[in-house]
């Protein structure tokens, strides 16, 4: 008489490990996305260790924990409470939050940079294209209301992504949503890689002496910002804190990439027209803030197009088949 093997949850059986509980079931696209985030987390830990840079994980932990909680809540809502729209929205926001937090830490762990800055070369390209940042800002200064409005628009880029993620989830545009999230990861990887090889910190770090100081104060641009970026490039940070995180990737422009992604994936939704218009104005807003050269926006457009093609290979558009 042969004894039957005792099987308990989480232990191996003759056929291998038991599957996870039903409420933790993920779709294939979600496994791909969370796997990418896991790899990014490992890469961030390894990079910080190799560089000898400390990370104030206690400051980032609440945000990362919130991202994990959103994913878990979304899985529970979809698999246990029959709330697929709410579940997909929570899972997607959690994925977006997790990747955004880890990518920011990863970027700052890259400091100090090994390669020399190419800002002067980018300035020369802009000049060849007939663009000069100080002249553009001086011209915009003649329209203070427009300049103020562009200043309000610029920081909405991430919020637009979050809004679009929620909208696509509740419109049952699952395939488009997964493509948006995947493309966000692909574009970020490409942008960081290009910037690491060809680093730049933007024109606001090279403010000429003749610029209107009152105008610069209105735009929250000061020589201290340029000095901070230069210190990062040369020496990095002893500890990466939440307060130290800011936008440092100049070429290619990720603001341009986000503007194009939002416009592209908002197509055939009722918010396409207002979002397209807002992101048309995101172009001068991005230039005015001093973090980017004109060529940065062209580079961002090329990264967007390459990533769109790569994402299409990984997740072909297909037809929308929302799971209910």
| Cβ 300 vs Cβ 253: under 8 Å | yes
pLDDT attached to residue 209: 75
Q: What percentage of the chain reaches a pLDDT higher than 70? A: 90
pLDDT attached to residue 67: 96
pLDDT attached to residue 5: 45
Residue 29 has pLDDT above 80, yes or no: yes
Instruction: Give start and end residues of each alpha helix (H) in the chain.
Output: 28-51, 57-79, 84-109, 119-128, 133-140, 144-153, 157-170, 174-197, 213-218, 223-235, 254-265, 272-288, 294-314
pLDDT attached to residue 284: 95
pLDDT digits (tens, 9 = 90+) for 244-289: 888 899 999 999 999 999 999 999 999 999 999 999 999 999 999 8
Q: Which of the residue ranges 131-145, 177-191, 290-304, 308-322 would you say has the lowest mean pLDDT?
A: 308-322
Residue 18 has pLDDT above 60, yes or no: no
Distances (CA, A) of 34 to 28, 67, 231, 320: 10, 11, 34, 21
pLDDT attached to residue 23: 58
Q: How far apart are CA 169 and CA 199, in angstroms?
A: 36
Distances (CA, A) of 89 to 71, 94, 130, 176: 9, 9, 44, 13
Residue 56 has pLDDT above 90, yes or no: yes
Average pLDDT rounded to a whole number, residues 31-36: 94
Residue 38 has pLDDT above 50, yes or no: yes
Closest-CA residue to 290 (of 222, 190, 234, 193): 222
Q: What is the pTM of this model?
A: 0.89
| Cβ 154 vs Cβ 286: under 8 Å | yes
Q: How far apart are CA 289 and CA 99, in angstroms?
A: 25
């Amino acid at each position: 008489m042969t004894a039957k093997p005792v099987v308990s949850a989480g232990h191996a059986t003759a056929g291998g490990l038991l599957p996870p509980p039903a409420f933790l079931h993920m779709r294939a696209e979600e496994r791909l996305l969370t796997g990418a985030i896991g790899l990014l987390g490992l890469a961030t830990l390894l990079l910080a260790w190799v560089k000898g840079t400390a990370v104030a994980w206690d400051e980032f932990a609440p945000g990362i924990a919130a991202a994990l909680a959103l994913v878990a809540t979304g899985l529970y809502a979809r698999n246990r409470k029959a709330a697929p729209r709410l579940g997909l929205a929570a899972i997607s926001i959690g994925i977006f939050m997790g990747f955004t937090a880890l990518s920011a830490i990863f970027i700052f762990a890259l400091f100090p940079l090994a390669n020399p800055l190419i800002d002067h070369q980018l300035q020369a390209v802009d000049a060849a294209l007939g663009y000069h940042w100080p002249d553009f800002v001086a011209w915009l200064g003649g329209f203070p209301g427009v300049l103020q409005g562009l200043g309000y628009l610029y920081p909405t880029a991430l919020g637009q992504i979050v809004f679009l993620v929620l909208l696509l989830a509740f419109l049952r545009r699952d395939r488009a949503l997964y493509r948006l999230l995947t493309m966000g990861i692909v574009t970020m990887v490409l942008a960081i890689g290009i910037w690491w090889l060809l680093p730049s910190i933007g024109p606001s770090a090279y403010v000429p002496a003749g610029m209107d100081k009152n105008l610069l104060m209105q735009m929250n641009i000061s020589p201290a910002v340029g000095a901070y970026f230069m210190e990062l490039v040369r020496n990095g940070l002893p500890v990466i804190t939440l307060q130290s995180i800011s936008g440092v990737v100049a070429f290619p422009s990720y603001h341009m990439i986000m503007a194009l992604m939002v416009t592209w994936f908002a197509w055939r939704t009722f918010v396409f027209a207002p979002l397209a218009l807002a992101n048309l104005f995101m172009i001068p807003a991005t230039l005015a803030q001093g973090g980017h050269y004109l060529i940065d926006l062209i580079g961002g457009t090329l990264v967007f197009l390459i990533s769109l093609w790569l994402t299409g290979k990984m997740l072909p558009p297909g037809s929308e088949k929302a799971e209910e």
